[in-house]
Structure 1
Amino acid sequence: MPLTFSLTWDYRCPFARIVHRHVVDALLDGADWDVTFVPFCLGQVHVEPGEVPIWDRPDDDTGLLALQAAVVVRDQDPDRFWPLHRRLFEARHAEGAQLRDEAVLRQLLAAEGVDADAVFTEVATGRPLTTVRAEHEAAARDLDVWGVPTFMAGGRAAFVRLMDLPHDAADARRSVEQCVTMLTDWPALNEFKHTSLDR
């Protein structure tokens, strides 16, 4: 029976990059996991009560365009999603790419063999934005999710911060499986945080 969990993401978060790199590297190496990747907009998290939701002014947010493009690929071309997902995180955090720029996203999509015209034609319909909003709001409503990366499994959710990219696929697999096991099999654990870092 595969390990089943969901995981939130926003390409702007460096800790989401690390966790998603673990997940994608392990999946590409053959990990028997059933993973649902859930877009979660950090821009909306920072909207103050009474302000216009970011969904109603998406051009004001630096992360929504990339989330929408990725959701199109996730839903319409899933075989290309994992490599694209990893590539977008690396472009943002290792190369300083501006993922709010459609031209930059088009180059990254094309580099992974994705039809960028088809992706942005779909984005223009508004459907991907609706999907991002619905999945973000469901995570926040149902499991009190407030950030990325958050693992969700067995009706529970936990924000997880890993500090290092995986050494290899085995390390990636071990780290993710430990996170999910702690979430699902140890309900008494509420918080576990080191008081200092060896760095």
Structure 2
Amino acid sequence: MTDFAVTWDYRCPFARNAHEHVLAGLAAGAGWDVRFVPFSLGQVHVEDGESPIWDRPEDDSGIVALQVGVHVRDTAPEAFLGVHGALFAARHDQGQDLRDRDVLAKVLADHGVDADAAFAGVDDGSLLAQVRAEHEAAATDHDVWGVPTFIHDGAAAFVRLLDRPGEDGAHARSTIDRVVALLAVPNLNEFKHTSVPF
């Protein structure tokens, strides 16, 4: 079984693309053990001299959804993959505001998750502390600076996938398998097409 981690923030379209590949591959039976790691783009974009987003989460448009995702991942893992995909869809396919708790509550209810329990963890600060700890660990341990970053066997790489897999599980599996395989090539630091092939 291949194990890897991948970072996410629901606002990033490239994170959406990569996570859709991961979700479609898992649905198609890929032998992966995936650790989903929250990473706040709001914190990454804090200017020098500004207070960290952890001290003013109300200023960040994605932090509540990130906390809700972590809550589901840790307390209702059987629902996580569905909720995870639905939160990306709410933001990117439906154009919904992930600061709106009604939007988040509907996604949770649609997947049988108690929204009140999730929001209790948001309101008491425990989920924010969890997101912060995982974000800071990724930044410290692997120099992560964005999403999606794949982490495998001590190596980490930011990856931009340009397509969405739809229902093509075979394509999703082969794409992610190639990404993880490239992480094992230590002398390959950057590989970027000179033009967009799509």
Same fold (TM over 0.5): yes
Partners of 1:108 and 1:162 in 2: CA distance: 25
Tell me by how many angstroms 1:147 deviates.
0.2
Tell whether 2:37 aligns with 1:8. Answer: no
SS at match of 2:20: helix
Distance 2:169 2:111 in 1: 21
Question: What residue ranges of structure 1 are gaps of 5+ in the alignment?
Answer: none
d(CA) in 2 for partners of 1:191, 1:88: 30
Structure 2 counterpart of 1:104: 103
Q: 2:180 corresponds to which residue?
A: 180
Q: Show structure 1 runs of 4+ deviating over 2 A.
A: none
CA offsets per residue over residues 57-92 of structure 1, 9 Å max, x none? 001000000000110000000000001101110111
1:190 is displaced (CA, Å) by 0.5
CA positional deviation for 1:198: 2.7
Which residue identity lines up with residue 146 of structure 1 in the other structure? W
Deviations 1:80-133 (A, max 9, x none): 000110111011101101111111111111111111112112222211100100
The within-5 A match list for 1:39-188 is: 39-167=38-166, 168-184=168-184, 186-188=185-187
Query: What amino acid is aligned across from residue 152 of structure 2 in structure 1?
Result: A
Show the counterpart of 1:35: 34
* Identity among equivalent pairs (%): 59
Q: How far does residue 26 in structure 1 lie from its aligned partner after superposition?
A: 1.1
Please, what is the CA RMSD of the aligned residues? Answer: 0.9
Q: Give the letter aligned to residue 178 of structure 1.
A: R
Q: 1:87 is matched by which residue type in structure 2?
A: A
Q: TM-score, normalised by structure 1?
A: 0.97
SS of match in other structure, 1:66: helix
